[in-house]
Amino acid sequence: MPVAASAIYFLNLRGDVLINRLYRDDVGGNMVDAFRMHIMQTKELGTCPVRQIGGCSFLYMRISNVYIVIVVSSNANVSCAFKFVVEAVALFKSYFGGTFDEDAIRNNFVLIYELLDEIMDFGYPQNLSPEILKLYITQEGVRSPFSSKPSDKPVPNATLQVTGAVGWRREGLVYKKNEVFLDIVESVNLLMSSKGSVLRCDVTGKILMKCFLSGMPDLKLGLNDKIGLEKEAQLKSRPSKSGKTIELDDVTFHQCVNLTRFNSEKTVSFVPPDGEFELMK
């Protein structure tokens, strides 16, 4: 189930409330006092990021010198809540010039309230894409000098951007030179016992892309892999082709990847977002 957050609080290291937003009326406005008394003052902030006090649960995370606390009164998806916090902080950083701390919050109260109203509705997370929100929330936080000039292009349809199939990329992009950069970053993990035997070994990797393409390009990426998730018996019956193919397990894609096409053709087909993003890992 989704987060169903009743309230969200931004606190400094002393426990002072910098900003808060109540989304439901099932919790009182003084719930943050319980967080201060039972968690902050008892020095138990580092023991567990989820605490239950009374009939409410507190999900909290520290970013720089700010604690972000989500209060829920029902059984909520904790992973979804923390994912929301991470995405919200990335959104705030995109508006504040790459920083998120107590000073940035104090200098952008109005902008943060406007963003909180857009990214969560009645406690349920909504669109947190900076590229889409910046088309409609144009209030300036800490802005780059390159974005100070007003745009002469018409604002695209909001419904199409939010609910359309390509909500992560805005229309009308034009570059004099079309460029695509692709990086593969891999790390080897090895766990050995005290006697020197290998307990576990694996390789984790991710594909990072940076795209500067005009229009709405449809890209395809082919890999010499065996993602097909065949049965173990079938894999054992086939002859080994060492050096020819690799096996990929637990693959995660960016939302731009066409999963239907991948399941049928085993081809990574996607319309890329503009700029830098993580295609798969």
pLDDT digits (tens, 9 = 90+) for 69-117: 888 887 778 888 888 888 888 888 888 888 888 888 888 888 888 888 8
Over 90: is that where the pLDDT of 61 sits? no
* Residue in 52, 54, 58, 47 with CA at minimum distance from that of residue 15: 58
pTM: 0.56
Query: Averaged over 176-184, what is the pLDDT?
Result: 91
Residue 269 backbone phi and psi in degrees, to 5: -110, 135
Query: Averaged over 243-261, what is the pLDDT?
Result: 76
